[in-house]
Amino acid sequence: MAAMQRYSIFSLLRGALSGHRDWQPAWRAPEPKPSYDVVIVGGGGHGLATAYYLARNHGITNVAVLERGWIGGGNTGRNTTIVRSNYLLPENQRFYEHSLKLWEGLSRDLNYNVMFSPRGVINVFHTDAQRDYWIRRHNGMRYAGIDAELLTRADLARLVPALDLSPGIRHPITGGVIQPRGGVARHDAVAWGYARAADALGVDIIQDCEVTGIDVEAGRVTGLQTSRGPIGAGRIGLAVAGHSSRLAEMAGVRLPIETHLLTATVSEPVKPFMDKVVSVAAAHVYVSQTDKGEVLIGGTLDGYNSWSQRGSPARLEDILSAACEYFPRVSRLRQLRHWAGVVDMSMDGSPIIAKLPVEGLAMTGGWCYGGFKATPASGWCLAWTLANDAPHALNAPFSLERFRTGAVLDENGAGPVAWGH
How many CB atoms lie under 10 A from the CB of residue 254? 9
Query: How many angstroms separate the Cα of 323 from the Cα of each of 55, 328, 398?
Result: 43, 8, 34
Cα separation, 137 vs 243, whole angstroms? 31
Mean pLDDT of 101-105: 98
Task: Identify the pLDDT of residue 421.
Answer: 32
Residues 2/200, Cβ–Cβ less than 8 Å:
no
Cα separation, 139 vs 150, whole angstroms? 10
Residues 247/238, Cβ–Cβ less than 8 Å:
yes
Residues 129-164: tens digit of each pLDDT: 999 999 999 999 999 999 999 999 999 999 999 999
Please, which residues have CB within 8 angstroms of residue 327's CB and are 6 or more apart in sequence? 162, 163, 164, 274, 287, 295
What is the pLDDT confidence band of residue 41, given thresholds at 50, 70 and 90? very high
Residue 273 pairs in a beta bridge with none
Cα separation, 44 vs 52, whole angstroms? 12
Query: How many angstroms separate the Cα of 24 from the Cα of each of 18, 21, 421?
Result: 13, 8, 50
Phi-psi region of 60 (alpha: psi -120 to 50; beta: other; left: phi over 0): beta
SS (H, E, C) the chain: CHHHHHHHHHHHHHHHHCCCCCCCCCCCCCCCCCEEEEEEECCCHHHHHHHHHHHHHHCCCCEEEECCCCCCCCHHHCCCCEECCCCCCHHHHHHHHHHHHHHHCHHHHHCCCCCCECCCEEEEECCHHHHHHHHHHHHHHHHCCCCCEEECHHHHHHHCCCCCCCCCCCCCCCEEEEECCCEECCHHHHHHHHHHHHHHCCCEEECCCCEEEEEEECCEEEEEEECCCCEEEEEEEECCHHHHHHHHHHCCCCCCEEEEEEEEEEECCCCCCCCCEEEEHHHCEEEEECCCCCEEEEEEEEEEECCCCCCCHHHHHHHHHHHHHHCHHHHHCCEEEEEEEEEEEECCCCCEEEECCCECEEEEECCCCCCHHHHHHHHHHHHHHHHHCCCCCCCHHHCCCHHHHCCCCCCHHHCCCCCCC
Task: Identify the pLDDT of residue 312.
Answer: 81
If you average pLDDT over every residue of the chain, what do you get? 92
What is the pLDDT confidence band of residue 11, given thresholds at 50, 70 and 90? low
> In angstroms, how far is CA 369 from the centroid of its own chain?
8
How many CB atoms lie under 10 A from the CB of residue 395? 25
Query: How many angstroms separate the Cα of 102 from the Cα of each of 38, 99, 224?
Result: 23, 5, 31
Sign of torsion over alpha carbons 378, 381, 382, 383: positive
Residues 359/214, Cβ–Cβ less than 8 Å:
no
Residues 355-413: tens digit of each pLDDT: 999 999 999 999 998 799 999 999 999 999 999 999 999 999 999 999 999 999 998 65
Q: What is the largest CA-CA distance in the chain?
A: 66
Q: What is the pTM of this model?
A: 0.93
Task: Identify the pLDDT of residue 20.
Answer: 67
Higher pLDDT, 192 or 12: 192
Sign of torsion over alpha carbons 189, 382, 373, 254: positive
Task: Identify the pLDDT of residue 420.
Answer: 37
Share of the chain above pLDDT 90, in %: 79
Interior angle at CA 81, CA 321 and CA 248, nearest 5: 105
